[in-house]
Amino acid sequence: SVAEATAYFLPNDIGISALDCTEAFRLLSPREKLYAHYLSRSAWYGGLAVLLQTSPESASIFVLLQRLFRKQPAAQLESMATAAGLSPEEYQAFLVYAAGLYANMGNYKSFGDTKFIPNLPQEKLKALVWQSQAFQDSPSEMEALWDSCSTLLFSLEDQQKQLGLGDKGVTTYFSGNCCLEDAELAQKFLDSKNLSAYNTRLFKNKSEGKASYEVRLASAVQKGESAMSFLKSYDCVFTVSRGDYAYLMKKVSENLEKAKDHAANENQKRMLEEYAQSFTFGSIEAHKEGSRFWIKDKGPIVESYIGFIESYRDPFGSRGEFEGFVAVVNKAMSERFAKLVSSAEVLLPELPWPKDFEKDRFLLPDFTSLDVLTFAGSGIPAGINIPNYDDIRQSEGFKNVSLGNVLAVAYATQKDKLTFLDEEDKDMYIKWKGPSFEVQVGLHELLGHGSGKLFVQDEKGTFNFEQDNVRNPETGEQITTWYKGNETWDSKFSTISCSYEECRAECVGLYLCLNKHVLSIFGHEDEDAEEVVYINWLNMVRAGLLGLEFFTPESKSWRQAHMQARFVILRVLLEAGEGLVTLKESIGKDGRPDALITLDRSKVHTVGKAAIERFLCKLQVIKSTADVEGGRALYEGYSAVSDTGSHNFLHLRETVLLRKEARKMFVQANTRVKGHVELVEYEGSAAGLIRSFTERFADDAEEVEAHLLELNKRDASCWC
């Protein structure tokens, strides 16, 4: 069906924005610039591994595009497209597809894991390839490249529509003959040998009737297979080998070694040595060791992290996707956040719970605002909290990072794409969204997550609160429940803990942004300050409505913690009544279902403040007292999405899906050394994104492409 097919196209008017880091880069010293440059090179080479981690055809499509656009930039290739019979819309659709492949490092969306294909007929794309300069220069090579990927480039068979294991989808973390049982068996093997799955892939072979498995580690070194027989009762053999993405891992390590010469301190040097070890020999232990030095490197000017990190895209959930980022401290924003932290003593008592429910002393979270210079991988988040190694997080800590220039772009919306708001609100929203979001992020991260006390009785029976005197402000009675021994917030509240805590932090932001002192820290006074408050609250209720996209009715489950939290807040503010928030369904100018959400600005400081005050106090008391039953009843109640009650949220969800905006793509700068380090920037368009990638490997493009095709060919027979 047409509607179904359009779900697999990227729209021609998709948002594409340049990530701005000119100012941040300008403020670096020559040494810091060189350090950032070599780290960026490491990240970009390693990021190419994501092509091999995504689908059998991604690497070939990447090389096909690189060859076309290296010979002819987008503007030049357009005349060939016209000669090949493409309309301007069809050529734009091809450029958007190419940009999408680069931005996602493969032909599956990094947020949602669904396939996307070019929005033009296959024969027209073929005609364009045949007309191109790249084809004129080496016809047999280009034809072979086209033949190797053209079918999968366009096909939408059920199994190919999304990533998944076995018949559920496509994956290159496992050979095509693997199913869930194989993944489980491999996990048992890895656990028994104390090996991490983060940097591995699994290949299954049948020999002499026995299953034999190859666990392949990502490493520059290819020697050193060690055959291990395993679990005699299962009658199979496991071999651990090295050398996955060998050429790319070698480039990563070489550039880390170069970066080391420009490191700012001993921790950075040791960290880079361990990372280089990890990518040379395939050792996660070395990567963990590097991460320990990384945590000790507090508040560096140039921040980075690199490796096989997030496991969202392995269908089994244990193999990491490669990513590498390099970012620079945003000094202006970080100064405002520091001022907020130094006002914590004055601001925390303003929160709506008794002082017994507040920590004995404010613990400063390690939180920095950074501007991204380089983020290689399948997509760019707005914030990160790493490392993911639990043993390190518990004992040595982690870093909490907000990516300021990503936030600035990700939430900037053109007026005609701004859904569900009144015309008058739209202009205000566009003007004040950035400033209000900065206030909300600071309050959320620092005073939200940083506030509130847990009542604990330790192993020795000692309480960290005065049991006889502390009263529950909700009931006026003594405290009867608390955390015992090594119980934690996460272990106690399990499946709701993450979203509930995000909700508490968002409420702290809404509540404290009403404070004039807070607004002046961020440079907002008088009328401007009121606009910031109004748009922050309006944005929150709109985000609650948009959040419905991330609710799955079939399983009645939420797929995104922050979005669930915002929906809960929308419900609380609707329930406050008195006309504070109105949400109405309507029919849009295009004749399709629409909705309108409005906020009465005269009631934010009265009705709104009182509602959030009550709700926030409840959230904190339940959290402090480990009241899981009360917490579940409250949070799951507000999280429920149904078609009964004052609003038909299931129907509104359909409207939200109908009008959702495609996720933005980012264009990133390149760095190059010409005596000093230059920053090369590109325009925020499909052509700009494409050009940034063709110039990214300018010095060794042919070598890189040849190796990518070689790596891809090596395993081609494993996927069918």
pLDDT for the residue 231:
52
pLDDT for the residue 199:
97
pLDDT at 293 over 80: yes
| Catalytic annotation, residues | 445
CA atoms lying within 13 Å on the CB side of residue 383: 15
pLDDT band, very low/low/confident/very high, at 498 (cuts 50, 70, 90): confident
Among 14-18, 111-115, 424-428, which stretch is predicted with the lowest mean pLDDT? 111-115
**607: Cα separation from own chain's centroid:** 35
451/456 Cα distance (integer angstroms)? 16
Three-class SS of residue 387? coil
Read off the tokens for 156: 């939408």
Range 462-485 average pLDDT: 90
Question: How high does pLDDT run on average in the chain?
Answer: 91
605 known ligand binder: no
444 known ligand binder: yes
pLDDT band, very low/low/confident/very high, at 653 (cuts 50, 70, 90): very high
- Output the CA angle 93-67-105, nearest 5 degrees: 60
pLDDT at 572 over 50: yes
**206: Cα separation from own chain's centroid:** 38
Are the beta carbons of 191 and 202 closer than 8 angstroms?
no
Read off the tokens for 661: 């905006």
pLDDT for the residue 225:
60
More confident residue, 643 or 413: 643
Among the listed residues 70, 113, 147, 518, the one whose alpha carbon sits nearest the alpha carbon of residue 314: 113
pLDDT band, very low/low/confident/very high, at 236 (cuts 50, 70, 90): confident
More confident residue, 81 or 552: 81
DSSP at 559: S
Among 445-449, 471-475, 580-584, which stretch is predicted with the lowest mean pLDDT? 445-449
Among 69-73, 125-129, 442-446, 623-627, which stretch is predicted with the lowest mean pLDDT? 442-446
pLDDT band, very low/low/confident/very high, at 594 (cuts 50, 70, 90): very high
pLDDT at 609 over 90: yes
pLDDT at 366 over 80: no
pLDDT for the residue 234:
66
pTM for this predicted structure: 0.81
Query: How, if at all, do strands 226-230 and 236-244 pair?
Result: antiparallel
Residue pLDDT, tens place only, 309-337? 988 788 888 899 999 999 998 877 888 88
Range 141-156 average pLDDT: 97
Contacts of 377 (CB under 8 A, 6+ apart): 47, 50, 105, 110, 321, 322, 323, 324, 325
pLDDT at 641 over 90: yes
pLDDT for the residue 192:
85
pLDDT at 4 over 70: no
Contacts of 480 (CB under 8 A, 6+ apart): 625
pLDDT at 371 over 70: yes
58/608 Cα distance (integer angstroms)? 50
pLDDT at 289 over 80: yes
Which ranges of 663-700 does DSSP label H, i.e. alpha helix? Answer: 686-694
Among 183-197, 404-418, 495-509, 658-672, which stretch is predicted with the lowest mean pLDDT? 404-418
pLDDT for the residue 1:
45
pLDDT band, very low/low/confident/very high, at 113 (cuts 50, 70, 90): confident
Residue pLDDT, tens place only, 662-689? 889 999 999 999 989 999 999 999 999 9
DSSP at 159: G
Q: How would you write 318-375 as a 3-class SS string?
A: CCCEEEEEEEEECHHHHHHHHHHHHCHHHHHHHCCCCHHHCCCCCCCCCEEEEEEEEE
459 known ligand binder: no
